[in-house]
Amino acid sequence: MRIRFWGVRGSVPTPQPENLRYGGNTSCVEVRTGEQIFVFDCGTGLRTLGQQLRHEFNSRPVSAHIFVTHFHWDHIQGIPFFGPLYDQTENRFLFHASRRTRSLKRVMEEQMASPYFPVDTTEMKAQRDFYDVEEGEMGLDNVTVRSAWLNHPQGCMGYRLETKAGIFVYATDNEPGDAVFDKSVRKLAAGADVLVYDSQYLPEEYEARKRGWGHSHWREAINIVMESGAKELILFHHDPDHDDRCIDEVVKEARNYYPKVRAAAEGMEIQI
């Protein structure tokens, strides 16, 4: 299993110089297992992933499962800029998301409708299939995907990818403090080889003014990894106002509590 980060920022892209070591693109993570490609979220990092896939596959068709956690802007704004959607009818993308608020197909059509975008989804030549996801599990060939709701305004789905090589958990946009959701996210993360978890705020920021905003902090991330038995923690969904120096300090402090902690950075790869 190979994990690669294409977008790691929360809320809004931040392409200023002081943020570029960790990266300014919004949420997008790619996981490869064998010949299968899985993509988690479609923030602005999806555009760069699309460029890589075009280069890698050239004229060969590309297919991938794309899991969307929820429809806030920073998790869908890369979709209109994902080049392989426009290239050829042999390309196929299987989109998985909950229909609790509305369908992803409708969300895509609305975000590209006039006056918000110059072309609409009829320009996309690739095959697009849409599947509804709720809590539970599904089998995709030799891979099992488990899903569970997280604590976030309008909802957010966390995903657990189980393969023979290892277990990957993607749990972004989750706020601590609700007993049901706290238990659920620990169950989702149980025994994972890699846990990617929301750490948008500093603990003191969260306590002072960010309660109810739907995000977590690095101290809660440490609690989850230690209580779930996950092996490695990747801090994710960095706040737009947290520059590289701030994130360095977060990682340094977090490692005082748990040694296997890293902050997600664009281009970072993990092999399991």
What would the pLDDT profile of 168-185 be if each residue is shown by its tens digit? 999 999 999 999 999 999
The residues spanned by each domain of the chain are 2-271
From residue 216, alpha-carbon distances to 211, 212, 235 in Å are: 9, 10, 10
Question: What pLDDT is stored for residue 258 in this prediction?
Answer: 98
Nearest CA among 15, 17, 39, 13 for reference residue 26: 13
Q: Which pLDDT does position 117 carry in this prediction?
A: 97
Rounded CA gap, 93 and 127, in Å?
A: 6
Q: Which value, in Å, is the radius of gyration of the alpha carbons in the chain?
A: 18
Structure tokens at 185: 């996210």
Please name which of 51, 76, 75 lies closest in space to residue 62, comparing C-alpha atoms: 51
pTM beyond cutoff 0.85? yes
Q: Which of 47, 28, 42 minimizes the C-alpha distance to 104?
A: 42
Domain covering 2-271 assigned CATH 3.40.50.12780 in the classification:
no
- pLDDT value for 88: 87
Q: What is the mean pLDDT of each run of 10 residues along the chain (272 residues)?
A: 98 97 98 97 98 96 98 98 96 97 96 97 98 96 96 98 97 98 98 98 97 97 98 98 98 98 98 96
Would you say how long the chain is, in residues? 272
pLDDT for residue 141? 86
pLDDT of residue 48: 98
**Residue-level pLDDT at 235:** 98
CB 92 within 8 Å of CB 129: yes
Q: Give me the pLDDT at residue 137, please.
A: 96
Q: Are 98 and 136 in contact (CB under 8 A)?
A: no
Name the DSSP letter for residue 108: H
How far is it, in rounded angstroms, from Cα 139 to Cα 94?
Answer: 14
Q: 3-class DSSP state for residue 64?
A: strand
CA 171 to chain centre: 8
Alpha carbons 106 and 68: distance in angstroms, whole number:
14
Run of H or E residues at 195: strand 194-198
